[in-house]
Amino acid sequence: MNLFLENGYVNVPMINSLPYPFIFCWGGRATGKTYGALWEDVTTYRGKFVHMRRTQTELDLIASSALNPFAKINEDKGTNYNVQPMKNMASVRDGNGDQIGVMLALSTCANVRGWDASNVELISYDEFIPEYHKRSSIKNEHLALLNCYESINRNRELQGKTPVKLRCYANSNDFFNPLFVGLNLITKIEKMQSAGKYTYIDSERGYMLIDLGESPISQKKAKTALYKFAGDGDFANMAIENRFKNDLFPPRPRPIREYKPVVHVGELTIYKHKSANRYYCSDHNSGNPPEYTASDTELKMFRFAYGHLVSAYYRGAIDFERTIQQVLFLRYFALL
């Protein structure tokens, strides 16, 4: 599987051709994710695509001539694609003024009514991981994405048609972003990266994870002025090394046979020691303890029922199998 074109940029046509309905792809800055996705939208999927951004503010910005996302494509290809604003959405048009696709914002997708999406075959979701300095809250963000997908996909599979393809692209800003947390992908990605693998496929759930950590473009950009000036740190880790920003702590693996399960929440199972007043967090799920999903509502219920674990954490009475379990714990309790 060749993730990169001969010129070093992301092989978006190959990614779009893969049979998995849901693909999440992250990589360094300016590696061709947005450019490739937009070009595929208006060529291979002309008249059959939705290009999505996270917030209405982001969508409003690009739905203008000043910030036309097709500007570079128009310059390179001699085309005249543009984006025109509409109520709660935007229209993508070619040089003849014909509508060839639409743009939506995840935050306001639920407000779009009466739109026939039966011809849509591809949703390109760009910048699904927000930058740290402009993170804004979307309640139950992973559910908002699933509901948006449902609004577009509808019952086409019941009619013998293939499901709409959802292709999500982002820079590696925040490992513990709302989609990865809410869709229970954190543990899979952590294990994938720990094993030095760049792809992961779950055929049963129908999704694929793609880490563009070996981008030839990122390797070349590391030698440019900005990245020499920035040096090692969060910016270079995100833009060049494709490493997520997170504050991890030393793990303390423990023999799980000495513990009994207390609660399972999201991708985390919390155990209590059988004889000592200590707890242990692992991704190993055993027994039949109470279960909570990572939705906003169920996490609130979890915090109410198990708030005493926060005190245990601050007094150092909780051990974590790996550092990722500690960050999940903090996220689930809204401490991070």
Q: How far apart are CA 185 and CA 14, in angstroms?
A: 22
Please, what is the Cα angle at 182 between 181 and 185, to 5 degrees? Answer: 55
Q: How far apart are CA 234 and CA 270, in angstroms?
A: 31
CA distances from 93 to 33, 105, 219 (A): 21, 18, 35
* Contact status, residue 33 vs residue 25, Cβ threshold 8 Å: yes
Confidence (pLDDT) at 240: 37
Residue 327 pLDDT > 90: no
Question: Taking the mean position of all CA atoms in its chain, how far away is CA 138?
Answer: 14
DSSP 321: S
Q: How far apart are CA 123 and CA 28, in angstroms?
A: 21
Q: Between 115 and 5, where is the model more confident?
A: 5
Residue 311 pLDDT > 50: yes
Per-residue pLDDT band at 64 (split at 50, 70, 90): confident
CA distances from 115 to 74, 118, 131, 219, 300 (A): 28, 9, 31, 43, 34
Q: What are phi and psi of 327, to 5 degrees?
A: -70, -40
Q: How far apart are CA 228 and CA 151, in angstroms?
A: 46
Question: Taking the mean position of all CA atoms in its chain, how far away is CA 196?
Answer: 20
Confidence (pLDDT) at 261: 98
pLDDT in tens, 107-154: 999 888 777 899 999 999 999 998 766 666 788 899 999 999 999 999
pLDDT in tens, 151-200: 999 999 999 999 999 999 998 877 788 899 889 898 898 888 888 899 99
Q: What is the pTM of this model?
A: 0.81
Instruction: Please compute the mean of the pLDDT values over residues 91-96 and round it to a whole number.
Output: 97
Confidence (pLDDT) at 236: 43
Show Cβ contacts of residue 235 under 8 Å, excluding neighbours closer than 6 positions. Answer: none
219's tokens: 């390797």
Q: How far apart are CA 59 and CA 83, in angstroms?
A: 10
162's tokens: 């293939």
pLDDT in tens, 194-228: 888 999 999 999 999 999 987 776 666 566 655 56
Confidence (pLDDT) at 235: 45
pLDDT in tens, 239-294: 334 454 444 456 899 999 999 999 999 999 999 999 999 999 999 999 999 999 99
**Helix orientation angle between 186-194 and 323-332, rounded to the nearest 10 degrees:** 160
